[in-house]
Chains A and B, each alone.
Chain A
């Protein structure tokens, strides 16, 4: 017998909260774009992750949900990843034609953003193709969340789209195979700026508490494909990160999805990947 999900909680944020989340998400994407503009062949993942952290701290970020990550080349598709330690930025050097991903999760006043920025250096047709196709994942996820489908079913729909495209699911490599996770306003009291295995102490404290309390309600703050995600989307904020790969190239976007009691929308549409699709659309219209 499965535990029945109890009545969903009310949406916990007002519009000023959402504004703060949105501002922080803009700030994080802004930092990622600045680092991306600075990137050039020869830099290492470690240098880039450190630069991203400096940019964020300079903007007033006090803590991190998780430390900034940077992946280059086939590491963007998590190829040959055996242990979680391999997620940490390493000594891989950026080369011409390589894809890269920057992933950071700053916290300001308890408000959290969690973003993924995918890019490439030079020419990479596979990257272009996946980048174009990612739009369908953003639309699919929003559509099915609005239909209040169980989260594990939406996960399966994403898998089906990935198979249809001929790519492979790379978010399953993340701990817990998650395609997303809930984001709350962190109220934990642990030391800010201290992290264990890449996650902030306050993150772990908050996440641990939520895992227990949500479990009691038959829900999970982590969005994966197993039984624990067999429930309708919980109202609140979800960081959603579909991550797909083809051969040596991996791409993702990550941004906050606002789920209310009866509807859903992306927190912000003014983001680099959305602008890229809009430009492509305009260009094809012009043709």
Chain B
């Protein structure tokens, strides 16, 4: 790594360079109370990927010099530092900027400065809004105090308590000096799960943290109370961190107003664990925006992130994959996701029906694609997942919906029938979860998996032996998987629909019945489902809600909910009822 010193307004700034200087320059700016080391993982990945990576310790931190007083930490001065470094390391070409926390706040100052045109090619912001934008954000909510707006203000206030402490005399410096700095590693480990690493926190932490309090004192009140108009024409990538204790995601809501060229990404991580634990993911996001603004062809992932939240709904910018999407609950779910902003990929054994769903989804404004997939075929599902990831990106939501009905007692059901039911209903879910779950974990941006079980998962019946067994397995599988994928920010939901008016009764197979009795039974069951008349659209709405709220188990219809309650109150009663021949 190359080290040089850049003098800005008399303060020496320690600058560190790695990678090939002929490649695009990425300038990384750290926050409070960090040094350039916070970017170690991101920088290593970017440099290995062929970028010229530049970091510096901001004034007052690490190996850089400090300003004389609080005034020396005002944002225009910090922006001057940034331009000085950029001019020194890349005098001829604009730099790509990425910044975190206070580094992001000061980078906003630079990005919204007219000098940035031609000097900054793109800006990736993590956990640090422009203070002027925040001032306007607060004003807007105070002048329009809807319940939602008040909730957002209260939530951000709860995240910002420490800013008040930083303005009180003596308190914050004393806290840092008398133990907080020494225990900072433990704080990060217990609050954000950051693994201890050599050299972090930096030995200069106590002094850096105390000097850095000037950042708050010099800038917060003046800018929040009298916010300036700060628009920018530079492409901005906003990475919203979902478990940030200091910056609430709602702070980015109005950003389209100031940054019209805006890509929105989401990262399931904490304020510091985003960089310390998810470095390669952040590096990939930076790399994507760098190559996009440097003229690489559009990628579906960035296309979705561009202008996400542009009014298309709560799932704007997301990609949903639905198996068995050619009919019933699958089709309704794909269309509901499309209607609420997501792009969809639909697969079905019957390609024509999947294409029809995709066509309807396009009418609702989504980008939609159809595939023919037999979910009971593991290698085929793997191929499908790989194709989807290559052509449309890794999905954010996967709905393992494909399934078949089967009616017959245990002794009536043949081995072949058992195989088929288990291969489709359970195997299909296993293959879907494995293929897409692996991709989602590798991507590191979280996501959600929805598995369609059934009320039969907890409602025994002698005539549903194979079907209920397969669905009970899906139920348990989902609970285990939910525990496994939670640390990766991937939710897993089990849906238990109950009696829903779809074509499943028409395709249900029956064991041990003669052909004419079979038709009569099928007609009777179909008539029951039609009379019950619970539309698949309502199941779809529940699925969307479950994804938004990360619900574990959702029994949908009244009978599914009642059965679940009974299964808890009196399993013996359900066991007795299981003897009835409902077919």
Contacts and interface: CB of A to CB of B under 8 A. Distances in A.
Interface in A124-165: 125-126, 129, 163-165
A166 B535 contact: no
Given A129-B363, A165-B356, A166-B357, A247 B535 contact: no
A225 to B, nearest CB: 8
B360 interface: yes
Interface in A235-287: 246-247
A166 B82 CA distance: 56
Contacts of A95: none
Nearest to A166: B360
A125 B363 contact: yes
B503 A166 contact: no
Contacts of B537: 168
Which of A129, A166, A247 has the largest number of chain B CB atoms within 10 A? A166
Contact of B331 (A126, A129, A166): A166
B364 A247 contact: yes
Interface residues of A, number: 10
A165 B359 CA distance: 10
Contacts of B356: 164-166
Contacts of B353: 164
Interface in B305-349: 327, 331, 335, 339
A126 B503 contact: no
Nearest to B352: A164
B331 to A, nearest CB: 6
Interface string B521-544: 000000000000001010000000
Nearest to B353: A164
B335 A168 contact: no
Nearest to B327: A163
Nearest to B328: A163
Given A163-B503, A166-B356, A247 B331 contact: no
Contacts of A168: 535, 537
Nearest to B536: A163
Given A165-B356, A166-B331, A126 B535 contact: no
B371 to A, nearest CB: 17
A137 B339 CA distance: 26
A247 B503 contact: no
A40 B287 CA distance: 52
A247 B357 contact: no
A126 B327 contact: no
Interface string A201-238: 00000000000000000000000000000000000000
Contacts of B357: 166
Contacts of A125: 363
Interface string A164-197: 1110100000000000000000000000000000
Contacts of A163: 327, 503
A125 B353 CA distance: 20
A246 B356 CA distance: 13
Contacts of A164: 327, 353, 356
Contacts of B327: 163-164
Contact of A246 (B360, B503, B535): B360
A122 to B, nearest CB: 16
Contacts of A129: 359-360, 363
Nearest to A249: B363
Which interface residue of B359, B363, B364, B537 has the most chain A CB atoms within 10 A?
B363
B48 to A, nearest CB: 47
Nearest to A125: B363
Contacts of B363: 125-126, 129, 246
B530 to A, nearest CB: 8
Contacts of B335: 166
Nearest to A167: B360
Interface in B447-504: 503
A222 to B, nearest CB: 18
A247 B338 CA distance: 12
A135 B348 CA distance: 26
Nearest to A130: B363
A230 to B, nearest CB: 12
Nearest to B334: A166
A224 to B, nearest CB: 13
Nearest to A124: B363
A129 B537 CA distance: 20
Nearest to B533: A172
Nearest to A127: B363
A165 B327 CA distance: 9
Interface of A: 125-126, 129, 163-166, 168, 246-247
Closest 8 CB pairs of A and B: A166-B360, A126-B363, A125-B363, A166-B331, A166-B356, A129-B363, A166-B357, A163-B503
14 contacts: A126-B364, A129-B359, A163-B327, A164-B327, A164-B353, A165-B356, A166-B331, A166-B356, A166-B357, A168-B535, A168-B537, A246-B363, A247-B339, A247-B364
Given A166-B356, A246-B363, A247-B339, 4 more contacts: A125-B363, A164-B327, A165-B356, A166-B360
